[in-house]
Structure 1
Amino acid sequence: MKTRVKATLLTGAGLAMLAAPIALIAGNPQSLLPPGMQDPSPAPAPTPTASAPAPSPTPTSAATPVVQDVPDESDEDGASSDEGSSSSSGNRLPTLEELEALDTDELDELLGLKPKFDIPAAQRRATTRVGILAEDEGGLPAVSLANQPQSLVRAAISGTQGRLVSRWGHIALRRALASRLAPPAGMSGAEFAGLRAQLLNRMGEFPAARAIAQDIDVDSWNTRLANAAVDAYIATGDIVGACPLAVLRGGYRDDVEWRMLRSICNSYGGETARARNDLIRLRDRVDGEETEVIDVLLAQRFAGAAGLGNSVVNIEWDDVDELTPWRYGLAAALGIDIPERLIDDAGPYYQRASASLPSLPLPLRIDGARRAAREGIFSSSALIDLYSQAYAASGNDGAIGSDAALLRTAYVDPDPAARLAAIRSLWGEGTQIPYDRQVLTAYAAARIPANGSFSGDAGPLIAAMLTAGLDRDAARWSSIVDEGDAGWGLLAVGLPDADGAVSSNAIDAFRDNDSSTGSRRTRFLVAGLAGLGRISSGTRNSWDRELDLELSRETRWSEAIARAGEVENAALVTLLMGLGMQGDDWNRMTPRHLFHIVSALRQSGMEAEARMIAAEAIARG
């Protein structure tokens, strides 16, 4: 169903409710919003600037393109694009001594040589709609959030810390954040883009965050967006991508990392001697607290690729105790090996970053890609591609080569039994199949014939297919699985065009086969079926009481997401979904939250995502 966007979500008392904190109730009753955001206030309206006088009529004036005004140098975050001022004042010419005391930036400013923007005026882009995914490319409707309270949108994005329990929830949220959307009334396009880019960085979606920033001209960036862009550039190894910002807005930061980055950009801009001297001075006075000598040495090595090659820089990791994004990003971009002791102690950030860094060794990339696949950053096809590269590079040598060879057998062996045996080997011997292995084998599972000979593996095969959204392939197993089996439960919520309501007896049979702690899978099954409208109200209420699900209990968050679903605002539903799905694993999710998320997604036109999330809950619960 095509999403329809209403003019407003709530009015009157509803707006007051939405401005209040949105809390995740089960197991975490405190508000998820950061301090000071309990009652977000609207951003101040921008101060109008005097318009330029109209040009005198000439034969060519009508052809002059209309472009947006250049924003004031001081943005809503208090940043200023001024790099400094010259030592002269008024109209007095500076003395020779004053000129000699100026650095290059100050001299360029004095002589009017410093660029003010990097895009010609006629080519500058408006910020009325920002994003990389248009509606006809799969994005959400552009005006979805235009008339929603900016306090609600800001709270939903800022309050989501990044990690979601659901792979499919992550995929849906990324789609919303990447869509080409108009900002809420009263919020600037730069702030809206900055909020989204920051959340994408927290989710490990660094290339998407970089693309969002690049959709806005650099001279329109505010501090929030600039910081998010720099973080994305470093995480993707695209260090010189930040150079336009360093040239145009060099004074917006003054920390050591920013000074190193500016020196790198100076080197790539042709000022190699200046960059060398600046980095040597930085290396001599780093304090060893936030910045160490290794950081400056990496900057010197990177700058050397642009013309400082006569300066020998040795990178030694012996005295380095931990990784930082700066060290990891520059080392990866330079192709410098990082000691395993540092990588082993590093957090999830570095695994997410490594998945998309082509300069890293394949084993390191595959290790990160497995996490990226579990979390929704990587698709099944992207993960398969990495294993294919490993097989092409080294055949079946080593653990990764062995897995790659098994994966090849799972796809190309003419015997279905041999293919299934290879899939089982990739899944491992444990009762709980690693989720990234199910993602890896999704398309191989879809090639297994649906017949009674393989019925014993129907459940995990169906679960694997649904990780990649292969619901039509999974539907072939409908006549093979028995009512109440694990595979039956996945199909009950995962298939499109469900035929009739699920009976209470079928749910009871599923519970009899449910070995999960506290019948979690049964609880998720009931919540998913109720959210999809696939059980009667009587069956829902009966199982609600039986399992103590509290599906009818309301909170501010549930009221907000339910109302957004009713008016079919998929973008707002998805942002609120992210707020309610935070956590490291499915133990953080309650059936009641699952019910509200699935129901709102279905009503807003995102039934496919709703079905996949419900199936994932049963598979991973």
Structure 2
Amino acid sequence: MIQPIPGGGGSAPSGPVTLPPGLPSLEELERLDPAELDELLGLKPKYDMPPGARRSMEQVGLLDASEGGMPVGSVGRQPVSLVRASLNGLKTPMISRWGHILVRRALVSRLETPAGMAPAEFAGLRAKALNSMGEFEAARGIAQDIDVGNWNKTLADAAVNSFIATGDITGACPAVRFRGALRDDAQWRMLGSICNAFAGESASARSALIRMRNQNTAPAIDVLLAQRYAGAAGRGRSAVNLEWQGVEELNPWRYGLALALGAEIPGELTDDLGTYYQRVAARNPALSVVDRMGPAERAAREGIFSSRALIDLYGQFYAENGNEGTWGPLAAQLRNAYIATDPGERLAAIKAVWGNETPDYARLVLTAYAAARLPASQELAEDAGPLIASMLAAGLDKDALEWGEVVPEGSQGWAQLVLAQPSRSTPVGSGDVDAFIDDDTSSGQRKSAFLVAGLAGLGRLENGAVNSYSQSLGLELGRQTRWSRMVSRAGELRNQPLVSFLVGVGMQGEGWDRMTPRHLFYIVRALNNAGLASEARMIAAEAVARG
């Protein structure tokens, strides 16, 4: 027996059917891909994690205080405008290698967000600053410490830049697929097609990229690279030829995708790589060790690479290539700097790596541990200055200080050691400083100015001597600016992250000719007051070595 439908009454509905406003036609619905249909019907999820797995944004960062990070609550109560301005001010690499290391540590520390600032903005500004310093892996880590459902455009932009620089193109997929409304530009749409292909929607991804190319939405080579990358997720039904003819310059998208794909870039585009591309190349495992050597030296000079990382890369080169090529003789000399039995032979090998009387700072970073193995003796005292600079470039201050009884007072080595000493019971004598000034042949006596500024910042000169040298060398150490007042106050309050951000703002530039002794004085003093004496000492010593 068939039962009637409850409430149906067996009668057909009467009257017109009213559809919701703005509903697409049947033909339009048929043309929508599954993702667009889900978004239209409100079925598209906003998070890539279930509620129980979502992470708190109370603290964001990679390095906890127990792991060497800075105090977690340091900026929680600081003015939002000050924190935002200091982070926005980190636009270029640091002049100082040790300044770079300090600012990187502050940016990756696990910190509470300043009251009144959104956690996503705080993370986004930090990731953006790390990208500008060439610390792309750290920037990616900061972005991935926040669930994509909480991202804003600032964080999305910084994250995508880090994904492209590290070759982790599909790392952007959670944001592109779940937060597609964050951006609406050609690059974002190309990423969307790539991510759709890796989600199993190869046909629609291929069609979308072909439309972009036909409509000139983006340069042809950019779309072709996206097509080649998306094709790696499909069944390989069609090949994509990369047509570089007519391409006059690289951009991060082209370089990042070409490296990720293992595609050859025409030599005319890579013969003179800019600084951004060198920083990308230094760590990119898709490149051969030969192609990474030059970029790695830049990375070591700037503080991106440690001394050990650069030594390891030279070791890898020597294991693969021996004495061959441009870098072979250098790698062989570096090896001799460690294995030679006679200290004089080891010193000769170190000096061969340096290459000339004023070696590139990257080479000093490279030879730091070899220099530390040399005995402090009068026979080697003539080269004590660069040897000490080499050791301090890697933070080997204990080894460097063993030369204290060897170097003559007033010499280059002495100047670095009086700055690198962890503590002093008495001020530095004016006679020794005068001797250094008299022998200083640097441009505009910059080294002397940096020595006085560093000693004054560390409190190692009598007040009368500071005033006297400031006047005679034209240092104007007492003149204040808005920046100097802010960094000094942050130091007095021992706010380590904030003083580090402000120090980074004061060290923007490409060379030490851009650093004034007055800026160095306030930087060193603020760091010393904030409990960052080790960093203050290393920056001051580096200034004298490189000034």
In structure 1, the partner of 2:183 is 253
Give the Cα–Cα distance (whole angstroms) in 2 for the partners of residues 116 and 548 of structure 1: 60
* Alignment coverage as a number of residue pairs: 530
Which residue of the other structure, out of 315, 328, 332, is the alignment partner of 1:405?
332
State the shift of 1:265 in Å: 0.6
Q: Deviations for 1:79-117, whole angstroms, at most 9, x for unmatched residues? A: xxxxxxxxx963998764343132322222345542221
**2:59 corresponds to 1:129:** yes
SS in 1 for 2:405: coil
The aligned residue for residue 493 of structure 1 is 419
Q: 1:106 to 1:304 in 2, by over 3 A?
A: closer
Aligned equivalents of 1:220, 1:93: Cα separation in 2: 29
Q: Please give the alpha-carbon distance, in whole angstroms, between the structure 2 residues aligned to 1:365 and 1:115.
A: 41
What is the CA–CA distance in structure 2 between the aligned matches of 1:147 and 1:154, rounded to whole Å? 13
Quick check: 1:276 aligned with 2:211? no
**1:243 and 2:170 are equivalent in the alignment:** no
- Distance in 1 of aligned mates of 2:482 and 2:23: 64
Alpha carbons of structure 1 residues 338 and 470: separation in structure 2 relative to 1, 3 Å:
same
Partner of 2:7: none
1:385 maps to: 312
Match of 2:68 in 1: 138
Question: 1:183·1:192 contact (CA, 8 Å) conserved in 2?
Answer: yes
Counterpart of 2:164? 234
Whether 2:353 is the aligned partner of 1:423: answer: no
1:219 to 2:161 alignment: no
Within 2, Cα distance between the matches of 1:618 and 1:196?
A: 30
Distance 1:406 1:286 in 2: 53
Report Cα offsets for 1:524-571 as digits up to 9, x if no partner: 000000101111112111211211211111111111111111111111
1:183 equivalenced with 2:110 (yes/no): no
Structure 1 contact 322–346 (Cα < 8 Å) conserved? no
Q: State the one-letter code of the partner of 2:287.
A: L
1:564 aligned onto 2:490: yes
What does the per-residue CA deviation read over 1:204-243, in whole Å, with 9 as the maximum and x for residues that have no partner?
A: 1111110000000001000000010000000110000000
Matched, 1:578 2:504: yes
2:242 alignment partner in structure 1 = 315
The DSSP-based 3-state class of the residue aligned with 1:390 is helix
Distance 1:241 1:94 in 2: 33
Q: How does 1:48-197 map to 2 (within 5 A)?
A: 90=20, 96-110=26-40, 113-197=43-127
Taking the aligned partners of 1:607 and 1:256, their CA distance within structure 2 comes to 48
* Inter-CA distance 92–254: structure 2 relative to 1 (3 Å threshold): closer
C-alpha spacing 1:402/1:92, structure 2 compared with 1 (3 Å): closer
Aligned pair 1:472/2:398, yes or no?
A: yes
Matched, 1:452 2:381: no
**Aligned 8 A contact 1:503 1:539 in 2:** no
Which residue, 496, 500, 507 being the options, matches 2:433?
A: 507
1:590 to 516, 524, 534: 516
Once the two structures are overlaid, the 10-residue window that deviates more, 251-260 or 215-224, is: 251-260
User: Structure 2: which amino acid aligns with 1:480?
Assistant: V
Distance 2:408 2:57 in 1: 55
The alpha-carbon distance between structure 1 residues 126 and 530, as it changes in their structure 2 partners (threshold 3 A), is same
Q: Is the 8 A contact 2:496 2:530 kept in 1?
A: yes
Change over 3 Å in CA distance of 1:339–1:91 after alignment to 2: closer
> Which residue in the other structure is 1:51 paired with?
none
Q: Secondary structure at the match of 1:459?
A: helix
Distance 2:443 2:95 in 1: 18
Deviation track 1:332-385 (CA, whole Å, cap 9, x = no partner) reads 111112222212343210001111111012122121111111111111111111
**Contact 2:337 2:370 (8 Å CA) reproduced:** yes
Q: Deviations over 1:41-65 (max 9, x none)?
A: xxxxxxxxxxxxxxxxxxxxxxxxx
8 Å Cα contact 1:524/1:594 also seen in 2: yes
The question of whether the paired residues in 1 share the 8 Å contact of 2:333 and 2:349 is answered with: yes
Deviations 1:498-528 (A, max 9, x none): 3421000000011122110111101100000
- Give the letter aligned to residue 369 of structure 1: A
Question: 2:27 and 2:380 mapped to 1: Cα distance?
Answer: 87
SS, match of residue 345 in structure 2: helix
Q: For residue 212 of structure 1, what is the amino acid of its counterpart?
A: I
Q: Which secondary structure state, in structure 2, belongs to the residue aligned with residue 161 of structure 1?
A: coil
Matches within 5 A, 1:530-569: 530-569=456-495
Given that residues 410 and 433 in structure 2 are in contact (C-alpha distance below 8 angstroms), is that contact kept between their aligned partners in structure 1? yes
Does structure 1 conserve the Cα–Cα contact (< 8 Å) formed by 2:94 and 2:510?
A: yes
Q: Identity percentage over the alignment?
A: 59
Greater C-alpha radius of gyration = 2
1:375-407 CA-to-partner distances (Å, cap 9, x unmatched) read 111111111111111111112211112211111
Of 193, 196, 217, which residue of structure 2 is paired with 1:263? 193
Q: Which amino acid aligns with 1:597?
A: I
Q: One-letter code of the match for 1:235?
A: A
**Residue 128 of structure 2 corresponds to residue 198 of structure 1:** yes
**Can you give the 5+ residue segments of structure 1 that lack an aligned partner in the other structure?**
1-87
- Name the CA distance, whole Å, in 2 between partners of 1:584 and 1:239: 30
| CA gap 1:517/1:461 in 2 versus in 1, 3 angstroms | same
Deviation at 1:467, TM superposition (A): 0.4
What is the TM-score normalised by the length of structure 2?
Answer: 0.94
Aligned to 1:463: 389
**CA RMSD after TM alignment:** 1.6
- In structure 2, what is the Cα distance between the partners aligned to 1:539 and 1:110? 74
Distance in 1, matches of 2:363 and 2:387, equals: 11
Q: Of Structure 1 and Structure 2, which has the larger fraction of its residues in helix?
A: 2
Q: Which amino acid aligns with 1:523?
A: A
Runs of 4+ in 1 over 4 A off after TM superposition: 91-95, 110-113
